């Protein structure tokens, strides 16, 4: 039983990263209607930049700077994805982000090399909760995911900027007519989502080393979490991330680590199908 709970704890921690990426995808989708397939790249940029900078400065400062750098990179991705005039179709934007994700791997390989990178966690001690080891790093990831879910929900519902983001995807034509600039809106959404995903990446690297090619797996997991909430629900994306993380760890622990992603995605598919059937029945 201890093994089970240990797997669940690790699962919640990795699941928090999926949730963070998933919520970032939801944010971008709700503001622009674009599914950003380069989202996972931002986690990798966050982790690798933190590693590089930490050779020259304190880890905390390196992490903060990495988040800032990623937000700037995300701004660039936004401009390319939505086009200079903001009139690229959503499908074209999606394909552009796929291209960016592929290109990013090459750029990251050239810039950071192929060795997966890791650095020291917040603390090397772990809490012992009835035989289950809980690392502070896990707790930090879970806390960030929860805070992000809470903050994003409030942001989108209650603030004028959040409402402007939602409005822009809801009716781009009307948003433009009342004076909103769709490209500015896209840039803000991508930058916020990029920064959030980068925080996830910065906190992830000490537990799971990240390399230039980690982006795709992170994107797929984040996407599965986001789809759990129909790409629009922050809360369900959070839940989806946790479910995905825990199922993957259980597969690693009890079945075969080789199949963890595949089995977890099948479970997600079944859950999504079940959830949407439930929705239709209401």
Partner 1 sequence: MTLLELDDVTVRYGEAVAVDGVSLTVAPRERVALIGPNGAGKTSLLNAACGVIRPALGRVRIEADDVTGATPGAIVRRGVSQVPEGRHVFTTLPVEANLLLGAYGRVFRLEIVSSTLRYLRSRRDVRDQLDRIYDLLPKLRELRERPAGRTSGGEQQMVAIGRALMARPRLLAIDELSLGLAPMLVQSLAEFLVRLNEEEGVAILLVDQSASLAFSLCERAYVLETGRVALEGPSKDLVGRAEVRSAYLGGSPGAPS
Contact residues: partner 1, CB under 8 A: 160-161, 163-164, 166-167, 170-171, 173-181, 184-185, 188
Work out the angle at residue 214's Cα, subtended by the Cα atoms of residues 208 and 217, and round it to the nearest 5 degrees: 100
> How is residue 49 written in tokens?
């930049």
CB of 73 to partner 1, least distance (A): 18
CB of 50 to partner 1, least distance (A): 26
Please say which residue, 32 or 50, places its beta carbon nearer to partner 1: 32
Please say which residue, 68 or 161, places its beta carbon nearer to partner 1: 161
The alpha helices in the chain, defined as continuous H runs, are 2-32, 39-54, 59-82, 90-112, 136-158, 160-170, 172-177, 182-204, 215-228, 234-254, 260-281
Please say which residue, 110 or 160, places its beta carbon nearer to partner 1: 160
CB of 89 to partner 1, least distance (A): 17
Between strands 132-134 and 127-129, the pairing is antiparallel
CA–CA gap between residue 256 and residue 248 (Å, rounded): 10
Please say which residue, 3 or 171, places its beta carbon nearer to partner 1: 171
CB of 174 to partner 1, least distance (A): 4
Please say which residue, 147 or 161, places its beta carbon nearer to partner 1: 161
Q: Which of 261, 249, 241 is nearest to 196 (CA)?
A: 241
CB of 47 to partner 1, least distance (A): 28
> How is residue 182 written in tokens?
């769709």
């Amino acid at each position: 039983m201890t093994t089970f709970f240990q797997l669940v704890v690790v699962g919640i921690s990795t699941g928090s990263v999926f949730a963070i990426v998933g919520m970032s995808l939801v944010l971008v989708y709700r503001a622009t209607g674009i599914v950003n397939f380069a989202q996972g790249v931002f986690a990798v940029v966050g982790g690798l930049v933190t590693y590089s900078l930490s050779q020259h400065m304190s880890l905390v400062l390196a992490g903060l700077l990495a988040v800032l750098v990623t937000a700037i990179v995300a701004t660039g991705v936004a401009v390319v994805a939505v086009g200079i005039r903001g009139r690229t179709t959503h499908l074209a934007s999606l394909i552009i982000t796929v291209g960016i994700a592929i290109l990013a791997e090459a750029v990251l390989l050239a810039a950071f090399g192929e060795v997966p990178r890791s650095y020291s966690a917040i603390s090397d001690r772990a809490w012992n909760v009835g035989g289950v080891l809980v690392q502070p790093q896990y707790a930090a990831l879970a806390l960030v995911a929860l805070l992000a879910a809470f903050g994003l929900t409030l942001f989108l519902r209650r603030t004028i900027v959040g409402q402007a983001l939602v409005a822009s995807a809801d009716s781009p034509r009307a948003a433009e007519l009342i004076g909103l600039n769709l490209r500015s809106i896209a840039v803000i959404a991508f930058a916020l989502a990029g920064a959030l995903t980068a925080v996830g990446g910065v906190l992830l690297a000490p537990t799971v080393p990240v390399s230039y090619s980690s982006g795709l797996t992170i994107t797929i997991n984040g996407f599965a979490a986001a789809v759990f909430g129909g790409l629009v629900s922050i809360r369900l994306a959070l839940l989806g991330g946790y479910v995905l993380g825990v199922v993957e760890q259980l597969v690693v622990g009890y079945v075969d680590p080789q199949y963890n992603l595949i089995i977890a995605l099948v479970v997600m598919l079944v859950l999504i199908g079940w959830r949407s059937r439930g929705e239709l029945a209401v």
